[in-house]
Amino acid sequence: MNAEPLLIGADVGTTNIKVVAFDRSGRAVEGASSPTPTRYPRPGRAHYDPEELWSSFASTLRQVTQRLDDPRRVASIAVASIGEAAVPLDSSGRPTHDIIAWFDGRARPQAERLGRLVGQDRLFRLTGLSLQPIFGLCKLLWLKENEPEAFSRTATWLNVADYMAFRLCGVAATDYSLASRTLALDLHRLRWAEELLEEVGISPGLFAPLRQGGSLLGSVTHEAATATGLPEGAGVAAGGHDHVCGALAVGVTQTGTMLNSLGTAEAIFLPLEHPLTDPQVGHQGYTQGAHVAGRYYVFGGQYTSGASVEWLREVLGGVGYDTLIAEAEEVPPGSLGAFFLPYLRLANPPYDDPAARGAFLGLSTDVGRAELFRAVLEGLAYDSRNSLEPLLAHSGVDRLRTIYAIGGGTQNRLLMRIKATVLDQRITVVGVEEATSLGAAILGGIGAGVYAGVPSALEELRYAESPVEPVSEEVPFYDDAFRRVYERIYPSLRGLHHEIQDLLYD
Residue 491, number of CB atoms within 10 A of its CB: 9
Q: Which of 204, 220, 245 is the last residue of a domain?
A: 245
- 3 state SS for 129-187: CCCCCCCHHHHHHHHHHHCHHHHHHCCEEEEHHHHHHHHHHCCCCEEHHHHCCCCCEEC
- Mean pLDDT value of segment 276-305: 92
Is 70 exceeded by the pLDDT of residue 476? yes
Same domain, yes or no: 33 and 163: yes
Most confident stretch, 116-130, 267-281, 475-489: 475-489
Q: Quote the CA–CA distance of 489 and 482 in Å, as a whole number.
A: 10
Pick the closest to residue 444 from 248, 190, 261 (CA basis): 248
Same domain, yes or no: 376 and 485: yes
| Structural domain includes residue 98 | yes
Number of domains in the chain: 2
E strands along 45-144, which residues?
47-48, 74-81, 86-89, 99-100
Q: Which of 227, 245, 263 is the last residue of a domain?
A: 245
Q: Which CATH number covers residue 240?
A: 3.30.420.40
| Structural domain includes residue 105 | yes
Is 70 exceeded by the pLDDT of residue 1? no
Q: Which of 194, 218, 245 is the last residue of a domain?
A: 245
**Cis amide bond preceding 350, omega within 30:** yes
Question: Would you state the pLDDT for residue 416?
Answer: 98
Same domain, yes or no: 178 and 314: no
- Mean pLDDT value of segment 252-269: 91
| Structural domain includes residue 250 | no
Q: What is the mean pLDDT of the chain?
A: 95
Pick the closest to residue 15 from 122, 76, 102 (CA basis): 102
Domain that holds residue 208: 6-245
Tens of pLDDT, residue by residue over 372-414, are 999 999 999 999 999 999 999 998 888 899 999 988 899 999 9
CB of 203 closer than 8 Å to CB of 139: no
Is 70 exceeded by the pLDDT of residue 2? no
Tens of pLDDT, residue by residue over 111-151, are 999 999 999 999 999 999 988 899 999 999 999 999 999 99
Same domain, yes or no: 118 and 209: yes
Same domain, yes or no: 194 and 330: no
Same domain, yes or no: 95 and 227: yes
Same domain, yes or no: 33 and 123: yes
Tens of pLDDT, residue by residue over 185-224, are 999 999 999 999 999 999 999 999 999 999 999 999 999 9
Question: Would you state the pLDDT for residue 506?
Answer: 67
Same domain, yes or no: 327 and 185: no
| Structural domain includes residue 446 | no
| Structural domain includes residue 436 | no
| Structural domain includes residue 403 | no
| Structural domain includes residue 437 | no
| Structural domain includes residue 361 | yes
